[in-house]
Structure 1
Amino acid sequence: MTTHTTPALLPLPASAARTATTAGAALALAGTFLAWTYTDTFPGDLTVTGYPGGLQVLTLVSATLTLLFALAGHGIKGLGWLTPGGTYSPTRLLALGTFVITAYTVVAVIVKKDDEGNLLGLVELEPGAWISLVGALVAVLASLGLPSDQPLDDTTRPHPLNRFLNSLRAPAPGRAAALPAWAEILVIAASFGVALHVFTYGIDTEYAELFIGYVIAVGFGFTALTRAGLIARITALTAKHRNVTLAAALVAAFCFPFTQQNEQYALIGANILIFATVALGLNVVVGLAGLLDLGYVAFLGVGAYAAALVSGSPMSPIGVQFPFWAAVLTGAAASLVFGVVIGAPTLRLRGDYLAIVTLGFGEIFRLTVNALNGVSGPDLTNGSQGIPSIPDLELFGFDLGTSHDVGGFTLGRSANYYLLMLVFTAVVVLVFRRSGESRIGRAWVAIREDETAATAMGINAFRLKLLAFALGATLAGLAGTVQAHVSYTVTPEQYQFAGSVPPNSAFLLAAVILGGMGTLSGPLVGAALLYLIPAKLQFMQDYQLFLFGLALILLMRFRPEGLVADRRKKLEFHETGQLDVPPDTPLTDTAAGTTKAGA
């Protein structure tokens, strides 16, 4: 294997390609400060000159990143730290992303209908839209003329399509210049600040066109930064300062409700935390222990129903009201008991048989609470009507159902429950991290990789699997206690295997697989994406399961280890290019007494 310079896709000198890419990005950037439409019918008000708005902002950000990476290709001092893996492939991706966002905006304006039902058409476009579109097109075409160093076999003559795909792949990140410890901590803090701003911007999008553009921009931008090696560099810093990273993540999450003035958007954040916490509990069962649980949402329902029954709701047949801490313990204990009762007879099964049994348990739970209506069975859950009118919590004299002014910021009901759920999330993260790094966690991983071998090494597989099942159920029960109060009511239809509205078992399992099994942040990222996208794009509700399946198929094809992968998964699903034996190492055949050259 030797390193060759991949031929450019367009016959341009490298210096000319860099210059043209820079000029195109600058032109696209300048166009965002001009008006793009004549009418304000299209949302975002793109009629203002000198003040970008709506989708113009996304083109501005993408064009700015393209310009920075193009300047880094010119060798501008100070930008090298941002591109340890090279600048050519990230520049191509960012230029392509700028063009896609701009073209999407132009098409969205053209097909937009006015109040009379007529299409706006091309006549509604101002020169600014054409300037940005032409600049983005010039940048993406010129970027195809940039060279890229790729490891190719001496005898390989790649197909043009493969050459294009290779041009998007950057070499491995180089060794970074050492930074002082305080500078590394500042980089981590700044990274989480940027992540908070990007996430908040996505939640605050007010219309579908802007959110679709946001998804396009984030997709291309994140992929480009990954190709540049910047994400790997920041990941190395976070692994080096793990406690600082957790503290920065907690602070960034704590600041989120203070950035929200819309109660609906704060509620989206609270629900994301609830489902992300449940997904992290499922990650104990699926990601660490390797137990495929298709009925996990039932444990969330057990915790929610237990908390609702003792919440003081006028529709609760029990008619008692526990303090919140007692309701939390009741929900967690009920889920723990159900986890042990269900796990004890079923965890001796493996693979598909275990999955079928857990799927049956999830359906049995839903049918059972639906039947406890006083007619088909005891009057305990009010059947299909569920338990409504669950009162808001009051902690230390602080009513979570009313708005409060804190430091000049107004925190509404959803923000209050978001902060409460953040505490639960921090507890679950701590439990997951400690258990995963413990002797028990390593035994879970051994069982996941090969249960027979783990048993042969003295590991009590059944006891440890039961422990994982019980722990995952308890964590789901904790989240269920908060979910019952956030939603005001619990009904059997909320806890299905698959449904149009999360949570459901399919949603939670998809979040774990999409984010990355066995990782700490993977399920949090996966749950946030899978909840946020349908919540912002209402027309996708009817196609949610189809899109879940399509996303999983694409993920298994292109990134089987998930969006956030640990080192074990990367080695398992990707070839490293390393040989098992160095090619010149002599191998001794002890049986024949001869020596062979290693292959």
Structure 2
Amino acid sequence: MTTTDTTRATAPATAPGALPLPAGAARAATAAGAVLTFASTFLAWTWTGAFPGNLTVTGYPGGLQVLTLTGALLTTLFLLAGHGIRGLRWLTPGGTNSPVVLLALGTAAVTWYAAGAIAFTLGGLVNLEPGGWLAAAASLLTAVAALGLPADTPADPEHPPTDPWQRLRHSLRAPAPARARTLPSWAEILLIAAAFAVALYVFTYGIATEYGELFVGFLLLTLLAVPALAKAGLLRRVTALTAKHRNVSITAAFVAAAAFPFLQSDNEFTSIAVNILIFATVALGLNVVVGLAGLLDLGYVAFLGVGAYTAALVSGSPFSTIGVHFPFWAAVLTGAAVSLVFGVLIGAPTLRLRGDYLAIVTLGFGEIFRIGMQNLDGISGPSVTNGSTGVPQIPDLELLGYNFGEPHTLLGFEFTRSANYFWLMLIITVVVVSVFRRSDTSRIGRAWVAIREDETAARAMGINAFRLKLMAFALGATLAGLAGTVQAHTVSSIDPEQYKFVEAVPPNSAFLLAAVILGGMGTVGGPLIGAALLYLIPAKLQFIGEYQLLLFGIALVLLMRFRPEGLVADRRKQLEFHETGQLDVPDTDGDTPGKPGLSKAEA
């Protein structure tokens, strides 16, 4: 038997479940609950169409029922894959029961949220039809029974999870053993293409949700389904394949993103995607400053404003006080260059500060920029920016005769203004990602990481910390200015209020910093995912009103508690937050469990 066959044949070890249920009974109850949950989506959940999604139809799932159906189907598939169905074993190359637990909990969360939303919107539980009651009971049965399944190999084999709370934490945090299987190259490329196609479909579904309740349900299921796929080992397998076929993966990612406008029937969703790309690009620029160099910048949105104002003033707006009209390429280069100059001018006198002092200075710069743009109105100061009015009627970009503001037809599809700017912003995002990746892997990038980890030690090793920090600050400012030039033409009107430290709609400095930390500092995918979430959530949860920031804050607290390294973390951050750093030393006297080499008195 070869090494690969041995690895594949080895089943992951298990420990007792968190509930006093025999493994067979827990497995049978989980399967029965999942099947009943699946069947309940074909029944009416309420009697009136006043609740969005048309949940009154029997025999055809709709709205939140589709999410419950998806969760129940995935729970069943992973349950079968982990227990004897050969054709589905590829679904669980890592863990077996932990993915089932997470998917069952996600399905229950969506279903109970739907029942609660129906009762709240329509005025009581009496508005639930038998299908709704069946869905709630069956999903709860599935989640409870899944907690009774044997736990996959725990982090501490001598102390397996003994209650549901520990079982859930184990499902989220315990490492999954990998079982790799060698595939032909063509099959691996097909898997990469399928993974990006699924990611595109999920993103398209989330951004195109028609009402807030459906988006909340989508979030609940996704936030537990993604860790489930990670625990199953699928995400790790896809990551390994993308690293192996890097050029194919980059091409597949670009093609999937470029195909997004083809899947949209509403211009509003494409416009949201354009703003997400702008937000994500600026977050990547901030990731150079915060994630790589470790410089806490609280006024970073000012560099976005510098690029936007520069492009607005030189792009031929009738309200521009300069009165010039640069072509597209010149406006972009001018905006990036002016942002670079501001980055050097602000960084040179301030980057000798560290920590909180640097954060306060950058916060002050952000506010100075906003107030300065407001006062350059010809009354409080020179007439440059029109003050609080800003620069409206910024003309659309035009490149080689292609006007981005006019609709165009391609392959029988008619694309609007938003689709044109989406493709332009996608190209700029690719450029920024390339710059970030090359900077990260370069000698300068390694020096930035050394400064971030310990500036004193880096200086002792001969690194010119001030010069390198100034380079990071200037590079981050340039990338933000580059995105700002496109933002000015996309929104067609800018004013100082768009660049506050905290604003209801991102991008702003607080949300940019949250996107970097939430997604994962020092990574490429982290800020992209964090920016997408932080832009979509306020845009989709407007029906919550004043409770929006409260729920957002609670979500951030929970995420920082259970995944402090971010949604996408590099190996260094995972070790920093989840490893003690102490070697396992045998207990020499055996007197004190858990305190190797110490006596009871010393402990």
- Does TM, scored on the shorter chain, surpass 0.5? yes
Distance (Å, rounded) in 2 between the aligned partners of 1:350 and 1:175: 45
Q: Which residue of 2 aligns with 1:199?
A: 203
Distance (Å, rounded) in 1 between the aligned partners of 2:166 and 2:23: 17
Q: Does the aligned pair in 1 maintain the 2:284–2:524 contact within 8 Å?
A: yes
Q: Which residue of 1 aligns with 2:70?
A: 61
Q: Does the aligned pair in 1 maintain the 2:19–2:163 contact within 8 Å?
A: no
Distance (Å, rounded) in 2 between the aligned partners of 1:14 and 1:158: 15
Farther off after superposition, 137-146 or 496-505: 137-146
Q: Which residue of 1 aligns with 2:187?
A: 183
From 211, 214, 217, the counterpart of 1:213 = 217
Distance (Å, rounded) in 2 between the aligned partners of 1:200 and 1:517: 26
Q: Which residue of 1 aligns with 2:435?
A: 431
Distance (Å, rounded) in 2 between the aligned partners of 1:55 and 1:157: 36
- TM-score, normalization by structure 1: 0.92
Distance (Å, rounded) in 2 between the aligned partners of 1:598 and 1:252: 57
Q: Deviations over 1:424-469 (max 9, x none)?
A: 1011011111111111111111111111111121211111111111
Question: Residue type of the partner of 2:119?
Answer: I
> Structure 1 residues 166 and 104, CA, compared in 2 at 3 Å: closer, same or farther?
closer
The DSSP-based 3-state class of the residue aligned with 2:142 is: helix
Distance (Å, rounded) in 2 between the aligned partners of 1:260 and 1:277: 22
Q: Does the aligned pair in 2 maintain the 1:402–1:412 contact within 8 Å?
A: yes
From 141, 146, 159, the counterpart of 1:143 = 146
From 37, 47, 54, the counterpart of 2:56 = 47
Task: State the percentage of identical aligned residues.
Answer: 69
Q: Deviations over 1:86-137 (max 9, x none)?
A: 2212112211221221122122222323xxxxx3x44543333233333222
Q: Which residue of 1 aligns with 2:317?
A: 313
Residue 227 of structure 1 and its aligned partner are, at CA, apart by 2.1
| 1:356 corresponds to 2:381 | no
Q: Which residue of 1 aligns with 2:520?
A: 516
Q: Which residue of 1 aligns with 2:110?
A: 101
Distance (Å, rounded) in 2 between the aligned partners of 1:552 and 1:145: 29
Residue 408 of structure 1 and its aligned partner are, at CA, apart by 1.9
| 1:72 corresponds to 2:72 | no
Q: Does the aligned pair in 2 maintain the 1:516–1:522 contact within 8 Å?
A: yes
Q: Which residue of 1 aligns with 2:44?
A: 35
Question: Residue type of the partner of 1:261?
Answer: S
Matches within 5 A, 1:38-437: 38-113=47-122, 119=123, 121-151=124-154, 156=159, 160=163, 163-165=166-168, 168-169=171-172, 170-437=174-441
Residue 5 of structure 1 and its aligned partner are, at CA, apart by 5.0
> Structure 1 residues 80 and 375, CA, compared in 2 at 3 Å: closer, same or farther?
same
Q: Does the aligned pair in 1 maintain the 2:161–2:170 contact within 8 Å?
A: no
Distance (Å, rounded) in 1 between the aligned partners of 2:284 and 2:169: 35
Q: Deviations over 1:538-563 (max 9, x none)?
A: 14564565555444433332211110
Residue 150 of structure 1 and its aligned partner are, at CA, apart by 3.7
The DSSP-based 3-state class of the residue aligned with 1:410 is: strand
| 1:499 corresponds to 2:523 | no
From 423, 426, 451, the counterpart of 1:447 = 451
Question: Residue type of the partner of 1:459?
Answer: I
Residue 175 of structure 1 and its aligned partner are, at CA, apart by 2.7
Question: Residue type of the partner of 1:306?
Answer: T
Distance (Å, rounded) in 1 between the aligned partners of 2:153 and 2:363: 47
> Structure 1 residues 158 and 87, CA, compared in 2 at 3 Å: closer, same or farther?
closer
Q: Does the aligned pair in 2 maintain the 1:18–1:74 contact within 8 Å?
A: no
> Structure 1 residues 496 and 232, CA, compared in 2 at 3 Å: closer, same or farther?
same
Q: Deviations over 1:532-586 (max 9, x none)?
A: 010011145645655554444333322111100001111111117x85366599x
- TM-score, normalization by structure 2: 0.91
Farther off after superposition, 58-67 or 38-47: 38-47
Question: Residue type of the partner of 2:135?
Answer: S
Residue 411 of structure 1 and its aligned partner are, at CA, apart by 1.1
Residue 187 of structure 1 and its aligned partner are, at CA, apart by 1.4
> Structure 1 residues 551 and 597, CA, compared in 2 at 3 Å: closer, same or farther?
closer
Residue 24 of structure 1 and its aligned partner are, at CA, apart by 1.5
> Structure 1 residues 214 and 355, CA, compared in 2 at 3 Å: closer, same or farther?
same
Distance (Å, rounded) in 1 between the aligned partners of 2:272 and 2:487: 12
Distance (Å, rounded) in 2 between the aligned partners of 1:559 and 1:567: 13
Distance (Å, rounded) in 1 between the aligned partners of 2:287 and 2:159: 42
The DSSP-based 3-state class of the residue aligned with 1:112 is: helix
> Structure 1 residues 581 and 8, CA, compared in 2 at 3 Å: closer, same or farther?
closer
Residue 162 of structure 1 and its aligned partner are, at CA, apart by 5.3
> Structure 1 residues 46 and 547, CA, compared in 2 at 3 Å: closer, same or farther?
closer
The DSSP-based 3-state class of the residue aligned with 1:580 is: coil
Aligned length: 580
> Structure 1 residues 326 and 273, CA, compared in 2 at 3 Å: closer, same or farther?
same
Distance (Å, rounded) in 1 between the aligned partners of 2:417 and 2:157: 65
> Structure 1 residues 390 and 200, CA, compared in 2 at 3 Å: closer, same or farther?
same
Question: Residue type of the partner of 1:136?
Answer: S
> Structure 1 residues 268 and 154, CA, compared in 2 at 3 Å: closer, same or farther?
closer
Q: Which residue of 2 aligns with 1:591?
A: none
| 1:538 corresponds to 2:547 | no
Question: Residue type of the partner of 1:275?
Answer: F
Residue 250 of structure 1 and its aligned partner are, at CA, apart by 1.1
Distance (Å, rounded) in 2 between the aligned partners of 1:419 and 1:237: 27
> Structure 1 residues 417 and 155, CA, compared in 2 at 3 Å: closer, same or farther?
closer
Distance (Å, rounded) in 2 between the aligned partners of 1:154 and 1:387: 64
Question: Residue type of the partner of 1:160?
Answer: D
> Structure 1 residues 191 and 152, CA, compared in 2 at 3 Å: closer, same or farther?
closer
> Structure 1 residues 368 and 541, CA, compared in 2 at 3 Å: closer, same or farther?
farther
Q: Does the aligned pair in 2 maintain the 1:83–1:228 contact within 8 Å?
A: yes
Q: Which residue of 2 aligns with 1:593?
A: none
Farther off after superposition, 163-172 or 276-285: 163-172
Q: Does the aligned pair in 2 maintain the 1:510–1:548 contact within 8 Å?
A: no
Distance (Å, rounded) in 1 between the aligned partners of 2:539 and 2:450: 38
